Structure 1
Amino acid sequence: MSDFRLKAFYSVARNLSFTKASQELFVSQPAVTKHVRELESLYGVRLFDRKGNSISLTEAGKLLMEHCERILDDYRKLEYDMHQLNNEYAGELRLGASTTISQYVLPPVLAAFTERYPKMSVSLMDTNSRNVEKALQEHTIDVGMVEGVFRLPSLRYDPFLCDELVPVVCPRGHWAGKEELTLEEFVRVPLVLRERGSGTLDAIEMVLAEQGLKLSSLNVRMHLGSTEGIKSFLRCSNCMGIVSICALERELKEGDFQVIDIEGLQFKRHFCFVSAQGQESDTVLNFMRFVRHFLSGK
């Protein structure tokens, strides 16, 4: 129902790219350009300064972007509320989730949610925890799900699932057969860990700090941007990884990996919903209730 010209402009303004906006909106780039030019003609202003291959917002563009955030959010709320008059859940839900959650926790939840509410349009941004928080602050998602331990005071965090990070190795490697390592042994083990900005690495660093250890004191051989990347690396390596138990269910059953305990270390954390303080819409609240109900029944 909302004016698609506003959606086109808002996507270009966020991405500072007509190409990325066309990909995001699933329309041609000339169509995006046409919608933006119609708005410029309507208001008699330039919305973007164009310099070579780059663009930037004009003052008029910055003003329109501020209004767009509120207008498009109101349209989403309107669509939801009007359908609620007929006891229907409909509208748009934009999710952002850290990689571990999006890959190993959310797939069955979203399958059940979209089956239960077929009129809801759901999108998911898969990235690390810091980027999820950034997207929420920039109003590009409605609610996030993160695994981080560093919390921004402007956002609200609600735990919904307990998780454990476990040290794992290939059972055919150097550490095969070991059930536990001392801290002194652990600091010498070659490690492959997640990248900076990931909630997994944040949680590891917090637990290490409780034991007076810094990440720099460990033998970190490599940082990788995904848990799947770490698992693939470990299959061909004598390194140890520290990953979510949620990501290892099948591999542990099939004997592909072996968990090794570390004396005095237990890497536990909570997965959390993250939202703007006091700005959770009914759509978001319904989704959060659905997730908790679904996971409690597993």
Structure 2
Amino acid sequence: MAYFLYIDIGDMAIIGTGEIMEIRKLEAFCKVVELKSFTRAAEAMLLSQPTISEHVRSLEEELGQKLVDRLGRDIGVSPAGSVLYGYARKILETRSEAVQAIEQYSGKLVGRIRLGCGTIPGTYILPRLIGDFCNQNSLIKATLTISSSRIISKKVLDGDIEFGVVGAKWNENGLTWTEMFSDELTLVVYPSHPWALKKKVSIQKVLEEPFILREPESGTRRVFSRILEENGFSESSLREVAEIGSTAAIKEAVKAGMGVSILSRLAVTDEVECGRLVSVALSGKTLYRPFYLIQRKNRALSPVTSAFLNYLAGCDGC
């Protein structure tokens, strides 16, 4: 009778139908799937390409299944490989958590923090805090994924990352949301724009001007859309000239005179100070918005992630 079993035995694992597999083989297989290349996987693991190929071939032989599709230079994962990848990631993560727990028990903090952030917190807030924390704990590494708030929330739900920091909140039963940090949105225009000499303009005036939007999944866009609705308007009321999925690209578009936009003050501080962009207030509106720490409900955090979140909670004025 077939059975599935996992037991960690140092650098070995029992998996499949009683076969013993080396953890190193599973690491090689996962790296090939993630990087879609035997060559890049070999470089990442500091091994030769033939060694990586042999690890994957050995797994295929043990399981009696083709795990990857070799399509010229491209590597795809087979249906059986996709199943194995999910379990292999869990095995590797469990082993990593066990090592971290033992290291912490002996007084050391060792491991990798895996987190994801929306564009603004991931670009302008978390890198400095991660750097400070890792400087204080030299055996800790971090992997930071930057994407839209929606994509980060999905990665948290799927278990790809342990937590995220995003700029919007919505109903998601599998997540917990905790306010952490804050941001202010501001209207930005190019220096020769007529509004550059004004201290503030009304939302009604903004509706008349060519406007550049972030992508729909953006936390910045969600907040501005809510502000429009609170004032009896909608996104369709805007004179949209472009939708751009990058804050940096929008800044360049505004500088070029394509239109105006609403962006994070954190994101435009340097440009405003140098005179390449001008920040203009909206009449009667202070556009503050919180950032949220999101975690999957009932997920146990690794020791290093718990330590990092405690560090964030203790940051004064972050």
TM range (shorter): 0.7 to 0.9
**Equivalent runs, 1:154-165 vs 2, <5 Å:** 154-165=174-185
Q: What is residue 293 of structure 1 aligned with on the other side?
A: 314
Structure 1 length-normalised TM = 0.87
Q: What is the Cα deviation at residue 26 of structure 1?
A: 5.2
Q: Report Cα offsets for 1:203-261 as digits up to 9, x if no partner.
A: 22122222232212101211222222222222221621211111233333344332222
| Structure 1 stretches of at least 4 aligned residues deviating more than 6 Å after TM superposition | none
> Number of aligned pairs?
295
Alignment match of 2:267 (pick from 223, 229, 247)? 247
- Residue 154 of structure 1 aligns to which amino acid in structure 2? G
> Is 2:129 aligned against 1:109?
yes
Compared CA separation, residues 62 and 252, structure 1 to 2 (3 A)? closer
> Is 2:90 aligned against 1:70?
yes
- Residue 287 of structure 1 aligns to which amino acid in structure 2? F
Compared CA separation, residues 30 and 135, structure 1 to 2 (3 A)? farther
Alignment match of 2:57 (pick from 29, 37, 46)? 37
Compared CA separation, residues 269 and 30, structure 1 to 2 (3 A)? farther
- Residue 276 of structure 1 aligns to which amino acid in structure 2? R
61-70 or 225-234: bigger deviation: 61-70
1:156 touches 1:274 (CA, 8 Å); kept in 2? yes
146-155 or 73-82: bigger deviation: 146-155
Alignment match of 1:216 (pick from 213, 231, 236)? 236
Q: Once superposed, what is the RMSD of the aligned Cα atoms?
A: 2.7
Q: Secondary structure at the match of 1:225?
A: coil
- Residue 186 of structure 1 aligns to which amino acid in structure 2? V
**Equivalent runs, 1:143-182 vs 2, <5 Å:** 143-182=163-202
Partner Cα separation in structure 2 for residue 232 and residue 69 of structure 1? 40
Partner Cα separation in structure 1 for residue 235 and residue 42 of structure 2? 39
Partner Cα separation in structure 1 for residue 232 and residue 42 of structure 2? 47
Q: What is the Cα deviation at residue 166 of structure 1?
A: 0.9
Q: Report Cα offsets for 1:63-107 as digits up to 9, x if no partner.
A: 423422331221121121111122211012112111211211122
Partner Cα separation in structure 2 for residue 287 and residue 63 of structure 1? 32
Unaligned runs of 5+ in 1: none
Q: What is residue 283 of structure 1 aligned with on the other side?
A: 304
Partner Cα separation in structure 1 for residue 158 and residue 212 of structure 2? 32
In our comparison, the structure showing a higher alpha carbon Rg is 2
2:37 touches 2:75 (CA, 8 Å); kept in 1? no
Q: Secondary structure at the match of 1:248?
A: helix
Q: Report Cα offsets for 1:37-84 as digits up to 9, x if no partner.
A: 12112233333456776634334x344234223312211211211111
Unaligned runs of 5+ in 2: 1-9, 12-22
> Is 2:144 aligned against 1:124?
yes
- Residue 150 of structure 1 aligns to which amino acid in structure 2? W
Alignment match of 2:76 (pick from 35, 55, 64)? 55
Partner Cα separation in structure 1 for residue 104 and residue 111 of structure 2? 10
Compared CA separation, residues 265 and 135, structure 1 to 2 (3 A)? same
- Residue 41 of structure 2 aligns to which amino acid in structure 1? S
Q: Secondary structure at the match of 1:150?
A: coil
Sequence identity, in percent?
Answer: 26
